Amino acid sequence: MDIRRVELIDFRNYREACLELSPGVNVLVGENGQGKTNALEAMLIIAVGKSHRAHRDRDLIRWDSERSRISLEASTQYGDRRLALELGPEGRRAYANGVQVGRMTEFVGQVKVVLFAPEDLDLVKGSPRVRRRFLDTELGQLEPLYLHHLSLYNRALVQRNRWLKSSAGGAQDDVLAAFDEQLALHGAHVIQRRLRFLARLRAYAARIYGDIANGRESFALSYRSSIVGVEEGMSADDLGPILVRALAQNRAQDLRLGTTNLGPHRDDILLFLDGREVHTSASQGQQRTIALSLRLAEIDFMHEELGEYPVLLLDDVLSELDDLRQRNLVLSMSRKVQTVITTTSLNRLGQELAGDYRLFRVRSGIIAEERV
């Protein structure tokens, strides 16, 4: 899969910009605050339907405009794709090959990308919510059914919590039991797909971490469920009754606290270096290497799952890595994977790539290709 062309109109600090990418390595170089990250963000939004750093569409629209448009042309194993997303006061309008798409769930995932950004350090040191969002975003690109079950689970969760708050001390068991059935039905599918994803991601991430760190530490991960009895390899049919039973047993506590305390919305990923949990013990360099290994592992997983590679977006990733890790990262980047890298300085990167890349200079929202 390759992104051939990206056009931005009134997006962030861009008035109008066009980026024509090579199928190999592309480097966006410029000072901080010039718009390099904004270009990657635009590609991510087309792929997954949301930004990694903005919660409101208004924040994505240029300050002096009411509307914004992102257009993207890509080549996939299923043919060419022309995708566009318009943002404005009336909401979003998405288009695929010139035809308006009714729902974002039908638009998401037509182009696959993996983004590594400075914020990804939170995958290691942040809250469980960050790691759950990682699972939801990546599985959402791969499996429309995952988004379907996650959406229905979250809807039932909101309704159950609302009932718990309004009925504390006098809730009807039959009403809560009905909510529990819905949570268990959709939650079982969410957990089963997460377990399957992580079981396969684990091997890729461990190998990649070893390559980047030059074998200095061993990396492992596991899924921590908030529900006793959940194990890898279980089917959704196995998990459903376990969820129903756990929700029923925990009902009194949920009523007392006014919220649902068990389920996939409370689960986490545990990360280990040499058998020790890394949440508090890993150095900054180790944390960044773990986060990067998880992102690069997604590429191998997607290739195995889909039969083609996603596009890799690396946002200022090299600045926090020592020379050895930088070199090993560049060497580990498969030339089969289209890659877009942002950096403030070519220095080491230019040497490692040895001229085999396309270079763009970014200044004040203007992108210009330069000769290497």
Count of beta carbons in the 10 Å neighbourhood of residue 336: 11
Asked whether 342 and 367 are in contact (CB, 8 A), the reply is: no
Q: Known binder of ligand: residue 34?
A: yes
- In eight-state DSSP terms, residue 110 is S
User: DSSP assignment of 9-70, as one string?
Assistant: EEETTEEEEEEE--SSEEEEE--TTSSHHHHHHHHHHHHHSS-SS-SSGGGGB-TT-S-EEE
Asked whether 123 and 294 are in contact (CB, 8 A), the reply is: yes
Q: Where in the chain do CATH 1.20.1050.90 domains reside?
A: 120-307
CATH T-level topology, domain 1-112+318-372: Rossmann fold (3.40.50)
Q: Known binder of ligand: residue 98?
A: no
Per-residue confidence (pLDDT) for residue 168, from 0 to 100: 58
Q: Known binder of ligand: residue 336?
A: no
Q: Known binder of ligand: residue 32?
A: yes
Q: Known binder of ligand: residue 30?
A: yes
Q: Known binder of ligand: residue 31?
A: yes
Q: Is this prediction's pTM over 0.75?
A: yes
Q: Which residues of the chain have pLDDT under 50?
A: none
What is the CATH architecture assignment of 120-307? Up-down Bundle (1.20)
Measured at the CA of 293, the angle between CA 290 and CA 299, to 5 degrees, comes to 155
Q: Where in the chain do CATH 3.40.50.300 domains reside?
A: 1-112+318-372
- In eight-state DSSP terms, residue 77 is T
As a whole number, the mean pLDDT across the chain is 91
Per-residue confidence (pLDDT) for residue 290, from 0 to 100: 93
Q: How far apart are CA 140 and CA 131, in angstroms?
A: 14
Q: How far apart are CA 134 and CA 138, in angstroms?
A: 6
Q: How far apart are CA 3 and CA 155, in angstroms?
A: 34
DSSP E strands in 105-218: the ranges are: 113-116
Per-residue confidence (pLDDT) for residue 347, from 0 to 100: 76
